[in-house]
Amino acid sequence: MIVRHAGRGNLAVGMMAILTLALTGCGGEGKSDKPGASTSAKPQAGGEASPSGAGKSETAPTQVLATVNGESGMVLTINKAARDAGGFLTIEGQLKNNGTAPYVNTAPWRGNELNASGVSVAGVTLVDKAGKKRYYVLRDTDGRCLCTTGLNIIEANQTMPFFAQFPAPPSSTAEVDLSLPTFATATVKLSG
């Protein structure tokens, strides 16, 4: 009986040693044994852009495809309208408040959006006049728009990034009309 009891004790000690080794191997907290290795997370492409554009280095001049005026000094500039390999059309640019007061009327930009994306540019549409078709901003599986969000107030002289993704029109479509509520309509040439 004593031998059995001692055997169980050895088994318990052995199991504790294995568990301790396993936990030690898993608990490195992302540290590397290599000198100079860093485990800090780097921003992924397509993540949220900082309103100030800090950390952005431009190596080439930005192409301007269209510029349209909105109310109270707001200006929308489109810098990119390119088809992606996955069958999408990505529109990028910037919104700038050229007015002297903060711009607070951003709610119309979300169109009929209820709550999924919050204040966004989900109300932007594209019209392919040649193909007689209107395109709406794509949504993720939770119903959020694939577009710029979080646009509550735009301060005077502040520039915010503009992004919206749509289903790509046919390759025969060379240009589309872009409409964002409170702005004039812009004709944009497509690439890709």
Confidence label for 115 from pLDDT (cuts 50, 70 and 90): low
For residue 187, pLDDT over 70 is answered with yes
pLDDT of residue 85: 86
Enter the tokens of residue 130. 């040649």
Q: Is the pTM of this model over 0.85?
A: no
Residue 142 lies in a domain: yes
pLDDT of residue 113: 61
Burial class (CB in 10 A: 0-12, 13-18, 19+), 159: middle
pLDDT of residue 177: 97
Residue 111 lies in a domain: yes
| Length of the chain as a residue count | 192
CATH number at residue 157: 2.60.40
Which residue range(s) make up the domain with 86? 66-189
For residue 47, pLDDT over 50 is answered with no
Residue 87 lies in a domain: yes
For residue 92, pLDDT over 80 is answered with yes
Residue 88 lies in a domain: yes
**Distance from C-alpha of 129 to C-alpha of 131, rounded to nearest angstrom:** 5
Higher pLDDT, 161 or 59: 161
Residue 144 lies in a domain: yes
For residue 130, pLDDT over 60 is answered with yes
What average pLDDT does range 147-160 have in this prediction? 92
Residue 122 lies in a domain: yes
Question: What total of structural domains would you count in the chain?
Answer: 1
In the chain, the N- to C-terminal Cα span, in Å, equals: 81
